[in-house]
Amino acid sequence: MNKRSKKNGFGSLANPEMFLNQDFQQLQKYCIERQLRYIDDMFPPNQNSIGQVSLSPSQLARVEWLRPGKICQSQSPSFVVDGVSRFDFCQGVVGNCWFLASVGALTFQSQILQQVLPSEHSFSAGIFHFRFWRFGYWVDVVIDDKLPTIDGKLIFVRSKTPNEFWPALLEKAYAKVCGSYADMNAGTPSEALVDFTGGVHICFQLDSAVPDLWNTMHRAAQSNSLMGCGTPQGETSANNISANGLVEGHAYAVTGVTQVISNGQPINLVRLLNPWGNGEWIGDWSDSSVLWQSISAEDREMCVDVADDGEFWMAMEDFCRFFSDLDICCLCPKFLDGTTSSHWTPLVYESRWVAGTTAGGCLNNPGT
């Protein structure tokens, strides 16, 4: 970003920067007037845009980039079907659970979601755009709707509804920002949470969690914050599934915080979502736990869903025991004070990392 951009007012949510200088309005108008379908030459439908993902050479040779109308030939493609939900999608072959967990959290905040997913799009012209907050500025990212498939099936994120395409198109736009689909492999929820909101990110290490962390999470949920978390890495880099049903080295979305009364005692619960779309915790307060019989029928009706949809409850104590960190992202961290009367003033310092003189560190090594 340059000083001219800031001076002219670009980079705000109302007037975002054009990512790679691509103007969505002009490109869409050009395609519609000429009855063309857009092909993005800045993120073309080829191997470079996919990158080095975990597909064999024979699989890569079979990759075909198809538009939504060719993927779901029996139905007309839709951007959203019956609203946007955290249950809409399942992760594909790239290891971007951190991104999809953040998307799951994003679906709870309709106002923020509308900022990221503008309503303007066109299947007839094959052009879409999305907005992300990147390094102090909002950017508008234009993509075409050609999606990588093998045998007609999406190889990256897919919707559980065959003719719904907002998850796949959102993922493609973010892959373009990152450089390729492969460049989304491995990350932390905090990265995507900030890029979706432009908000303040706070990380809590759960092995040294403060005693009132559940109260902080409860206030954060009421303050329209987005929350994600992760499990510790196992002995290998693979996403092994532990005996308790949790995936090692995996990102989850925090989708609920509540308290129930069990046998006369208050129990603090946290609800989590596995972005794989299946695979759940099988310990206390899981879907099939007998502990649900110890609470009121009303609370049980509100909380329990036995579907294998990747979402489950667990006690706060188990959450802190089996998860390593919690990310909370919000537009204003007033929930930390436990009061709405506090006022926060944002300060922005602009600078840059210069190759050879300074270095930007990895979030996996925050100390250095």
Those residues with Cβ within 8 angstroms of residue 24's Cβ, 6 or more apart along the chain or in another chain: 18, 120, 127, 129, 140, 142
The set of long-range contacts for 19-26, using a CB threshold of 8 Å and a minimum separation of 24, is 19/139, 19/140, 19/141, 19/142, 19/176, 19/177, 22/142, 23/142, 24/120, 24/127, 24/129, 24/140, 24/142
Q: Is 92 left (phi over 0), alpha (psi -120 to 50) or beta?
A: beta
Contact criterion met (CB below 8 Å) for 338 and 215 = yes
Tokens matching residue 258: 């509540």
What Cα–Cα distance (Å) separates residue 58 from each residue in 54, 61, 63, 190, 245?
12, 5, 9, 35, 33
Nearest Cα residue to 253 out of 321, 185, 328, 320? 328
> What residues are annotated to the active site?
97, 250, 274
